[in-house]
Amino acid sequence: MILQRFIEQTASPKFDAVIIGGGITGAAVAYAAASRGLHVALFEKSDFGGATSAATSKLIHGGLRYLANFELKLVRESLQERRILGNIAPNFVYPVPFMLPSYRRYKGDMWKLMAGMYLYDWLSFDKQNTWDPEKSLPNHKIINKIKTLRIEPDVVEENLRYSTIFYDYQSISPERLTLSFLKSAVDYGAKISNYSKVEDFVFHPDGQIKGVVVKDLLNQQQVTVETGLVINCGGTWADVILNRATKKGNTEHKIKRSEGIHVITPKIAGDNVISLVRKDGGHMMIMPWRGYSLIGTTDKEYLGSPDHYKVSKESIDEVINAVNENYGRKISYSDIKHAYGGLRPLIDNKSENSYTTSRKYEVYDNEKDGIKGMITVEGGKYTTSRNLAHHVMDLVGKKLQKDLNKSITYNLYLTGSEIRNMGEFMKKQHLHYSDFSKESIEYISRNYGTFSRQVFDLARFNPELKEMVSNDGELLAEVSYAISNEMAKTLKDIMLRRTGIGTLGKPSNEIIEKVMQIASKMLHWDEKKQQTEFDSLMKIYDLPI
């Protein structure tokens, strides 16, 4: 499959719907709409999955802590979607054990925790009903203090009573999983474009939207695209888009933005996600990821413009302090290899803080705001995005007055993930590609699924592309593949979203130079453009001081 930017094509047909936003919500909506028979286009002003969808804890989970707010329906939906994503994207999501240490100082909460774990098991009654037996999950179990410390010796021992072990899924690359939803949408005829900003709306005399004005930010050209409906999937920018449509700047729908940051350090824990209760009642997690520890997250309201958001030293210090106050192995600022953050779009339910704000979602008909021909999706979380898109289609069908095809997104593999049994698939991969390192076979096979053959073939055809550029086996061939097949247009696209070469911290200058050489040749970058791309990437690794 070769992804192409629709905005660069000369023909501009009328679409049933135009989707604004190429994060996981927009990607899932595009897939749902296209697979149900609609002609849709999706426009993303930066790169696909480059904002909130990339700034996650890399978990596909049911949301155990939501039980404290008695959000049983949300937890059940999340657990069901967890299983579905494990089915339709088997190469991207895997079972991961969670450890919840329990201490004497929390004695009063022991029964709440026990009740919550049994309820979590009950709500996920179908967790073993998976297409691939390797994806089935067991019920929780209790282990004593001695076994807890044997498994995770750096858990704080003082006042430790026991720990609870339960399972959720981990997503090895949310960015590539988002891209797989987009590939699935394209398979059903959807047209997509990154670096394409919807700058204005075209209206009929009666006030009905009849099109959008889109600026191609790469070629600095503007096109008008006709449509019968606009679906606003702008996430943390959703209200900004609404204000642009009303031209008043005072839409009633406000997005509550919650900042969440994560830091990556050398590995400080074992293979469990260690979930700890902070002194302020919040939670933090130390997660295994690609041989490192991924630590987070913060959860506090952000009041500024989403365009101006960046990770602050205050937020990084918050994570460091949370580790040092609640875990037996201390970290410092110098241990941080990389820090990333993003803004969660939450429904503004007037709760006191973003931590207690629900992760539910809502779908609004903006005709109530005087905007005919637009609907807006607000809230939600990565795990429930597929089902959110399913519900969006109910309103889309009514607005377009069309009988849509039946939903299929829950029972078909995503494009590139057509793998019935991951264990058998990996055995065959190791046999077929024995001329590559074990690390490369594992990494490429899981991140590219059935498309991995194309990456391996590129490396075999050009030995220079066979070079490993990370400890877990990434290849220079991925760079070439990202540009030629996956619409990567910038150095950050390549390093942070199509591949993971730059997601564990700043690569060596030698590796960056090799990636730059390939990109410059394929994308025709002159020296000035190369410097601009390099400087833009380096800003990602500048920790605030």
Question: Model pTM greater than 0.85?
Answer: yes
Which of these, 365, 376, 283, lies nearest to 322 by C-alpha position? 283
Contact by Cβ (8 Å): 409, 88: yes
DSSP collapsed to 3 states, 153-214:
CCCCCCCEEEEEEEEEEEECCHHHHHHHHHHHHHHCCCEEECCEEEEEEEECCCCEEEEEEE
Long-range CB pairs of 142-150, under 8 A, 24+ apart, other chains included: 148/99, 148/101
- Calculate mean pLDDT across residues 218-241: 93
User: What one-character-per-residue DSSP string does 237-285 give?
Assistant: GHHHHHHHHHSSS--S--EEEEEEEEEEEE--S-SSEEEEE-TTS-EEE
Range of lowest pLDDT (32-41, 248-257, 382-391, 439-448): 248-257
Q: Write the pLDDT tens digit of every residue in 21-53.
A: 999 999 999 999 999 999 999 999 999 999 888
d(CA 73, CA 67): 10
Q: Write the pLDDT tens digit of every residue in 178-210.
A: 999 999 999 999 999 999 999 999 999 988 999
Q: Which domains does the chain have, with CATH numbers?
A: 6-52+175-254+359-400 (3.50.50.60), 93-171+256-349 (3.30.9.10), 422-540 (1.10.8.870)
Token readout for 309 is 């958001």
Contact by Cβ (8 Å): 45, 212: no
* Integer Rg of the chain from CA: 23
Band of pLDDT at residue 459, cut at 50, 70 and 90: very high
Q: Can you give the pLDDT at residue 350?
A: 46
Band of pLDDT at residue 308, cut at 50, 70 and 90: confident
Q: Which residues pair with 256 in a beta bridge?
A: 346
Which of these, 189, 190, 210, 188, lies nearest to 201 by C-alpha position? 210
d(CA 532, CA 98): 42
User: What one-character-per-residue DSSP string does 93-147 give?
Assistant: EEEEEEEEEEEGGGGGGHHHHHHHHHHHHHHTTTTT--SSGGG--PPPEEEEHHH
Contacts of residue 36, Cβ cutoff 8 Å, sequence gap at least 6: 393, 404, 405, 406, 407, 408
- Calculate mean pLDDT across residues 307-311: 89
Band of pLDDT at residue 306, cut at 50, 70 and 90: confident
Q: Can you give the pLDDT at residue 251?
A: 61
Residue 372, helix vs strand vs coil:
strand
Q: Write the pLDDT tens digit of every residue in 102-154.
A: 988 655 567 778 888 999 999 999 999 999 999 999 999 999 999 999 999 99
- Calculate mean pLDDT across residues 75-87: 96
